[in-house]
Structures are given as structure tokens and as C-alpha cells.
Structure 1
Amino acid sequence: MQQVNAVVFDIGNVLIKWQPEGFYDRVIGPDRRKALFHAVDLTGVNEGVDRGDDFHIVFHALADQHPDWRAEILMWHDRWIEIASPAIDHSVRLLRTLRQADVPVFALSNFGVETFEIAARHYPFFTEFDRRYISGHLKVMKPEVAIYQMLEDDCGFDPQTLLFTDDRIENISVAAERGWQTHLFDGPRGWANRLVDAGLLTKEAAQ
């Protein structure tokens, strides 16, 4: 069994749901949502936020550029926490149980500076990581190699002793190429089993 010195969590769709399409489907209906996403590059602008663009400035500017969609665009800004919800409770319990077991727990996530602050006010566990590597602060995103290198240079652990979970295969693949142990997240039950297999938690503790 390979040694694990620290566990690295992605956040979106691992610890909290991230579901822009689902939010808009509920609020404005699937047909209008499809038209909105076709007309306005919401996802691209959000990636800019994850890279460090100012959340408030860029979404208000986008609304100004698309007056016919202004109300819908500003929902992304004004109701962002509804898009980034709910918490995945079992995953949160696993994070906290690892910390109680004195296992260092890091965050490695594509997240904006302002949106991370919003989330941290809503989800207390955002402040509970031992270290946080957030793209908006670092100005580089997964799966770019530089953000993995930044974590390695800072954390002090051999990359082969890091266990990383993420829901996107491209993010996992880069970590694996660098020698990290990895788990493609497809639900908290599988992640719990992986932590048990790694000898980090008992079956009872991983429930």
C-alpha cells in the first residue's frame, strides 16, 4: 500500500454541487436556458473569474453587453450561491473526519477570489482546509501543470504521497502524470471506499 501524507480535494462537484444549467432550468426553463447559453458565453466569463478576473466587474459588464439577457446574466452574480449548492454532506464529513485523524487536507480548486469568499461565508468547511490552492488567487487553473507544481513546491510532501480527488478526468490525469495518487470522484461512497483502502479511515469512520 502506498503511503499517503496528505489528501487533496477538488471542491466543485466533490464537496458542493456546481450546476449552472440546473439552476437556470429551474428558474427560467430549459428552452430559455439553452437560448441564453447559446447567446452569452457565461461559462467562458466564469472561467475568467476562476483565473482571477473580478467577479462583480465582469458579470455587470457582460450584462451591459447583452441588455436583452441582463436579468438572466445578473442571476449568475446575484444568486451565485444557489448555483453552487447544495453541499455534498458525506464528502464534507469525510474531510472533517480526515482532519480529526490528523491527516492534512488541502483544497485544489478552480474558483474565483470573490466567489470563494461568498462560499466560505455560506459553507463553514471552506475555512477548514490545512492549505488552499485556489486558481483565482494563483492566476492559473487546472489542468495547467503550473498549479500542480505550485502545490508541490508549497506543501512539503513528496508528490507520490498525495491522494487527490476531482470529478474531471483531465484534472486527474495531470496529477497522475506527476506521480500523485488519484481518485476520479463519481460520488462520496466511492471516495469513502478509496480512503478506507488507503488506510486513512476505518469503514466506520468513513460512513
Structure 2
Amino acid sequence: MTEIRHIVFDIGKVLVHYDPDIPFSRLIPDATERKWFFDNVCTSAWNLEQDRGRTWEEAESLLIAEHPDHAENIRNFRRHWHEMAPHAYEDSVALLEGLIDDGHDVTLLTNWASDTFREARARFPFLEKPRGVTVSGDIGLIKPDRAIYDHHVASFGLDPAASLFIDDSQKNVDGAKAAGWQAVLFTDTGTLKADLERFGIAA
């Protein structure tokens, strides 16, 4: 096994909680209606295009043209975004900071819209502690596309085989492996500590 010299964290659902249901359980109280809205209007695929760099203005106008009766809640998705990311996971953040304090090279690689990431960075100061971050919305590339992993490697001078990627999405973990990285699926901090120890990293 190649010695790990670089540790790369995803952010959403690994370090910071994310759940659109938090504001929308209030905005659309009926669970069936809310599910329909997320399945048919503000879908994951629609939101992913903002992670790829599409502006919210364009995203909203496209969707409102298709679903004019839902215009207010389409706008509410961005308007209430701050409620969707209410807190960090303290145990994950403590692990991240411990790795940095121990001298490990830690960077971040996230699918995140540019403007909402800037908000998150202002709210969660620990996001400044790693050596750097690749934000999908800033570069027009998203996980699990090979290009975003290659971009991160080039930006931060990483050796892919000596890089360990941590993400809560199996397809993003698989994407990292296809790009020549080591990678593990994040489920909880205890499991992550065991994974790191398996790679020879005390956490």
C-alpha cells in the first residue's frame, strides 16, 4: 500500500450538515407535496448545475418558466439556503483539525456553488485551516468527473496514489479511485478513524 501523504476531505455531509428539508418542512408542510417538489421541481440534478457554476438567477428563471406556479418556492431554495447548512459536525471537524495539527497535508474538494460556499466559509472558520480548497462552482467541474480530481492534483501538487479522499457519496469515492487516488466512503467519524488507521494514519 502506498504511503498516504495527502488527505482530501469532501465538506457537505462530512464536515458540514446539509438538508434542504430543514427550511422546506416549514415552507411546504405536507410531506407528500414536499417530496413531489424535490422530485420534480428543485431536483438534485437542477441543484447540481449550480455546483457546476450556473448562476442562481439563471437556474431560477429556467425553472420558473417551467413551473410558474412554484415560483416562490423555487426562489426560496436560494433564499433559505443558509438554513440547509445549519451546523458543522464537531467530531469530524476535531478529526480534521487534529490531522492538520499533526502535520498532515490536508485539502478540501467539494461540489458547491460559488456564492453559497463563500457564505459557508464565513460561517465555518475551520474551512480556512486546510492548505486549500477546490470548489466545483469556481472551476466549472464537478465530482465524480475525472477532470475535477486531476485539477485538484495539479492545483495542490498531489501524488494521486499517495492521496486519500474522504466523501459521503459512493460515486464520488469511485470517481477518485478511477483517477488513481485512494478513497474511503464517509459514514461516521468512528469508521473514518478506523479507515485512517488502516492507511497508517493515527487519528
Q: TM-score, normalised by structure 2?
A: 0.89
List per-residue Cα deviations over 1:21-44 (Å, max 9, x = no partner): 454235422122123224414433
> 1:60 Cα shift?
4.3
> Structure 1 residue 167: deviation in Å?
1.0
**What is the match of residue 19 of structure 1?**
19
- What is the CA RMSD across the aligned residues, in angstroms? 2.0
* Secondary structure, counterpart of 2:16 in structure 1: coil
Q: Are residue 36 (structure 1) and residue 37 (structure 2) matched?
A: yes
Following the alignment from structure 1 to structure 2, what is the Cα–Cα distance between the partners of residues 63 and 160? 41
TM-aligned CA distance change 1:98 to 1:38, over 3 Å: closer
2:81 corresponds in structure 1 to 80
* TM-superposition CA deviations, 1:123-178 (whole Å, max 9, x none): 11222221211111111101111011111222223211101111111111121123
- Report the more deviating stretch, 130-139 or 171-180: 171-180
Structure 1, 158-167 or 18-27: larger mean CA deviation:
18-27
Judge conservation of contact 2:22–2:83 (CA < 8 Å) in 1: no
Instruction: Give the Cα–Cα distance (whole angstroms) in 2 for the partners of residues 88 and 58 of structure 1.
Output: 32
Q: CA contact under 8 A between 2:64 and 2:70: conserved in structure 1?
A: no
Q: Matched residue of 1:129: which SS?
A: coil
Distance (Å, rounded) in 2 between the aligned partners of 1:54 and 1:147? 19
Give SS of 2:180's match. coil
Aligned to 2:197: 196
Separation (CA, whole Å) in 1 of partners of 2:55 and 2:114: 8
Q: Please, which runs of 5 or more residues in structure 1 have no aligned partner?
A: none
Superposition map of 1:118-157 within 5 A: 118-157=119-158
Identify if the C-alpha distance between structure 1 residues 71 and 149 changes in structure 2 by more than 3 Å, giving closer, same or farther.
same
Q: Which amino acid aligns with 2:13?
A: N
Q: In the alignment, which residue of structure 1 is the partner of 2:95?
A: 94
Mapped partners of 2:63, 2:170: distance in 1: 32
**How far apart are residue 64 of structure 1 and its match?**
4.3
Q: Paired residues, what number?
A: 201
Q: Deviations along 1:25-69, whole A, 9 cap, x unmatched? A: 3542212212322441443332111011123x1354257434422
CA spacing shift, 1:122–1:158, aligned 2, 3 Å: same
Secondary structure of the 1:37 match is helix
1:19 Cα offset (Å):
1.6
| Counterpart for residue 54 of structure 1 | 55
Asked if structure 1 preserves the Cα contact closer than 8 Å seen for 2:64 and 2:74, the reply is: no
TM-score (norm 1): 0.87
Q: Match of 1:14, as an amino acid? A: V
Q: Which residue matches 1:9?
A: 9
Contact 1:167 1:184 in 2 (8 A): yes
Structure 2: runs of 5 or more not aligned = none
1:177 alignment counterpart: 178
Local SS of the residue matching 2:18:
coil
Aligned counterparts of 1:48 and 1:90: Cα–Cα separation in 2: 30
Please give the alpha-carbon distance, in whole angstroms, between the structure 2 residues aligned to 1:132 and 1:38: 31
Q: What is the alpha-carbon distance in structure 1 between the residues aligned to residue 15 and residue 200 of structure 2?
A: 21
